[in-house]
Amino acid sequence: MNRTFLRQIIIITIFRLLLNTGRRFVYPFAPALSRGLDVPLAAVTSIIAAGQFSSLLGIFSGPLADRYGYRMMMRAGLAMLALGMLICGLVPLYWPVFVGLVVASFGKTLFDPAIQAFVGNNVSYERRGRVIGIAETAWAGSTLIGIPALALVIDHVGLRNSFYLLALLGGLSWLLMGVIVPADTVRTDTQRQKTNFLAALKPLLKSRPARGMLAFGFLISLANDCLFVVYGAWFEQDFNVSIVALGFSTVAIGTAELLGESMTALFADRLGLKKAIILGPLLSISAYLLLPLIGQSLSLAMMGLFLVFLSFEFTIVTSFPLCTEVIPQARATMMAGYYATAGVGRMAGVLIAGVLWSAGGIAGVAAASAGFTFLGLMAVFWGLRGWSPSDKPKSVRLLVKKG
């Protein structure tokens, strides 16, 4: 990996941190948004739900990225962030802010499959885990850096000006992306031009490795969100924690995510991605089952939660570089499908978590999460049986700038 490409990845990761902050800041600042917009808190959570739903529409962005280029789609994502935040700042009323935040959230939905495919197209399979692990630190970085920094901005200049700041940073990122990343070479063959969206998605259904990985993403995301939705209720019920303690738990989760992403960058390629994608779910299953056993005090419960999110983040991030090689001729389409099915899994996890919590408490939720993760592991065994990457060890490709 040459220095020019490494510099591109680092700068793109910073842009992605900005997009992730734009998606995730609504969660901790929901009360501030409800006060600023003079609406009930439930109205703000509706914005969060709509933002999650937008990830399902991202499945159509993959064929666009494969057809017209990854840089174009990444720039489109940054443009939507800038536009969405500008709408929020110009018209700080509930429905315009609703639309603006969903538009900004959709920007991340466009950006993520394109960056994964960009890496997959330019880095050999044997080194891909390291590069994608680096790029994925933008997720944890939004919790550890982006949201705290935005909190300071809101405290000093107000919510409306923070929207303007995010719009400005999004616009500058859009401009810089056109400078630091060369334009993709666009395929112009007749068959490519005639392919419609539905036809472009057919490889996801025809390929057994693709179906296995889609099922894997759905199941492990379902498992993780089952726990994520109820852990706050568990902490309040069993340990009588304060809002401050719950806030601190998000820092622990962000730290676990960062370490999980770093583990992918450091170890996934050395282990081999197929071995790592098996190890990750095994660690997650162990962490889920251990959680109710050791969670007899707040400190031990926090430690258990840390292990859950550490193992999950290693698992999900390790799956990204592997997915980029499942359908090499349609990398963005595969990644968009993977993100979409994982999003459906998260929504399903939210829907069933309450039932599991009422029926069995944290032990029931943890057991169910372990069970769903085990099913995900079985999907990997089924999907990748006999599969090997098409990429060769020395096939490190470089982007070719047009003109």
Concatenating the DSSP letter of every residue in 75-114 gives HHHHHHHHHHHHHHHHS-SHHHHHHHHHHHHHHHHHHHHH
| Alpha carbon distance 165, 339 (integer Å) | 28
pLDDT of residue 190: 39
3-183 and 201-384 in the same fold: yes
Task: Provide the pLDDT confidence category of residue 292 given band limits of 50, 70 and 90.
Answer: very high
Instruction: Output the pLDDT for position 193.
Output: 46
DSSP 200: H
Question: At residue 370, does pLDDT exceed 80?
Answer: yes
Cβ partners under 8 Å of residue 104, min gap 6: 22, 23, 80, 81, 83, 84, 85, 88, 166, 170
CB 233 within 8 A of CB 357: yes
Mean pLDDT is highest, among 31-45, 189-203, 361-375, for: 361-375
In angstroms, the CA 72 to CA 64 distance is 9
Q: Average pLDDT, stretch 194-215?
A: 79
Say which residue, 229 or 371, is predicted with more confidence: 371
> What is the CATH number that goes with domain 201-384?
1.20.1250.20
Query: Quick one: pLDDT band at residue 320, thresholds 50, 70, 90?
Result: very high
**pLDDT band of 398, cuts 50, 70, 90:** very low
Q: Is the pLDDT of residue 399 over 60?
A: no
- pLDDT at position 208, please? 95
Instruction: Kindly tell me if the per-residue pLDDT of 31 is higher than 70.
Output: yes
pLDDT score of 402: 38
DSSP letter, residue 387: -
200 falls in which pLDDT band (50, 70, 90)?
Answer: low
Mean of pLDDT values over 39-44: 84
231 pLDDT band, cuts 50/70/90, is confident
pLDDT per position as a tens digit, 324-345: 999 998 898 899 899 989 988 8
Quick one: pLDDT band at residue 33, thresholds 50, 70, 90?
confident
In this prediction, residue 75 has a pLDDT band, given cuts at 50, 70 and 90, of very high
Q: Which whole number is the average pLDDT over 115-129?
A: 91
Taking the C-alpha atoms of residue 330 and residue 65, their distance in angstroms, rounded to an integer, is 9
Highest-scoring range by mean pLDDT, 67-71, 108-112, 185-189, 245-249: 108-112
Closest alpha carbon to 81 in 56, 101, 62: 101
Flag whether pLDDT at 197 surpasses 80. Answer: no
Q: Does domain 3-183 have CATH number 1.20.1250.20?
A: yes
Distance between CA atoms of residues 335 and 259, nearest Å: 23
How much is the pLDDT for 160? 93
Domain boundaries, the chain: 3-183, 201-384
pLDDT of 173: 97
With a cut of 90, say whether residue 346 has pLDDT above it. Answer: no
Residue 51: pLDDT band by 50, 70, 90 thresholds? confident
Q: State the chain's mean pLDDT as an integer.
A: 87
